[in-house]
Homo-oligomer: A and B are copies of this chain.
Amino acid sequence: MLIVMTARATQREIDGVVRVIESLGFRAHPMPGVTRTAIGVTGNPGTVDIGHFENLPGVAEAVHVTKPYKLTALDLRPERTIVDVGGARIGDGSLAIIAGPCAIESREQAFSVAEIVQRSGAKFFRGGAFKPRTSPYTFAGLGEEGLKILADVRQKFGLKVVTEALDESTVDLVERYADMIQIGSRNMQNFTLLRRAGRSRLPVLLKRGMAATLEEWLLAAEYVMAEGNYQIVLCERGVRTFAQHARNTLDLAAIPAVRRISHLPVIVDAAHGTGRSYMVTPLARAGAAVGADGLMVEVHAQPEQALSDGAQTLTFDEYEQMVNEVRAIHKVIAQAGVKFAKNSG
């Protein structure tokens, strides 16, 4: 932490701040400058409330320096994490494609989509059995019945199943039927759920919250890791801004930013990240190009009849075209020597 004094701060005030720092067990490093003095603080484990200092006499501001995340940080664990999802890998330099309907609606619907997903060569199937919906009056998923359909998809098509859990009891169910637990944006700071996922044997797909900073996102992953589950894939899915032409503003700069500070793989959800089907393929291409470890999209035989999120769902033809394009882009950047899975970020 760094404490900056006002230009008019007296020596007495500076000494006072030093005393408070030392009384809390830290070391103080005063640095007199041309117009004002700054005081470095070391020895703090990153949990000190900045406000303790900002209200002291003569203090202009206090600035956090040490980052509070530990297990997720690249500089403390330099080897990149490769996540194993039922035998398929995310983060190994390949481009993982996770596709499927927004919600599981019926066996027929799930199987028709799974066939297309399998045929495209994708290894991961997504589909919601428990859907967090903004309104209590909309379709909230088939529940365990949906999970059973997902388990059948896994068996019949050999796809790895990724599906969302909403709370401790749905984690229990998801563990029984699926290969990876998805934690949605609205639950990114549902710490009870994060801790439960941290005690699971399944890997976790952790979506970024709608207004989450990178630090908060990594700290959410830290909750999972702190319980012992190190198999986490981060998922950028757009943040909320003033811009209204898309449902969310997909923040692709988050991909290189995460890669620079964390060893965890990170993918892009081009469906929720845009909310409009005509944008999904261009932004999926952009996700591949920016260097994501994977992409998540939604596919449906008849998007306009989907029970949820039809507006951001690809048809079968659009999906197959999209897969071809993102694969070709991934190949280009792999050949160009872009470092995905290496430490240099």
Contacts and interface: CB of A to CB of B under 8 A. Distances in A.
Nearest to A250: B253
Given A54-B311, A214-B245, A189 B186 contact: yes
Interface string A6-30: 1110000000000010000000010
A6 to B, nearest CB: 5
Contact of A32 (B42, B50, B133, B285): B42
Q: How many copies does the complex hold?
A: 4
Contact of A8 (B4, B78, B209, B308): B78
A251 to B, nearest CB: 5
A291 B280 CA distance: 12
A65 B68 contact: no
A168 B345 CA distance: 41
Interface in A106-143: 132-138
5 contacts: A51-B275, A210-B211, A213-B245, A252-B282, A256-B283
Interface of A: 2, 4, 6-8, 20, 29, 31-36, 38, 40, 42-43, 45-47, 49-52, 54-56, 60, 63, 65-66, 68-70, 73, 75-76, 78, 132-138, 166-168, 186-187, 189-192, 209-211, 213-216, 219, 222-223, 226, 239-246, 249-257, 260, 273-279, 282-283, 285-291, 303-306, 308-313, 321, 324-325, 328-329, 332-333, 335-336, 338, 345
